[in-house]
């Protein structure tokens, strides 16, 4: 099953996340199918950039977003 979830990037104490489509069995920072966008919680307000066309594609093909990503997609306008 494909999940839409976050993978952590950035230095220690300075998180930066990518929104990715990945196999649900893959580890958090492991292999992924596609990068869908980014999320930076350190800026004020938080910076969210998501390619909505590709996110819609993965959702229409049965991908399940995690709870956090579901909130981010809602903010991004999906």
Check residue 29 and give its pLDDT: 87
Domain count, the chain: 1
pLDDT tens, residue by residue, 49-67: 999 999 999 999 999 999 9
Span 18-43, mean pLDDT? 93
CATH number at residue 68: 3.30.1320.10
pLDDT tens-digit readout, 4-27: 999 999 999 999 999 999 999 999
CA distances from 12 to 9, 15, 52 (A): 9, 7, 29
Full domain range(s) for residue 20: 2-76
DSSP β-ladder status, 2-9 and 16-23: antiparallel
Q: What is the mean pLDDT of residues 22-51?
A: 93
Instruction: Please give the pLDDT value at position 78.
Output: 84
pTM, whole model, 2 decimals? 0.88
Asked if residue 54 lies in contact with residue 34, where contact means CB atoms within 8 angstroms, the answer is yes
Both structure tokens of 72 = 């981010």
Tell me the sheet residues that pair with 78: none
């Amino acid at each position: 099953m494909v999940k839409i979830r976050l993978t952590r990037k950035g230095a220690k104490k300075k998180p930066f996340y990518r929104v990715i489509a990945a196999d649900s069995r893959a580890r958090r920072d492991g292999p992924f199918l596609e990068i869908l966008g980014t999320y930076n919680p350190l800026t004020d307000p938080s910076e969210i950039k998501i390619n909505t066309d590709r996110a819609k594609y993965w959702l229409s093909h049965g991908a399940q977003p995690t709870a956090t990503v579901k909130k981010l997609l809602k903010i991004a306008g999906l």
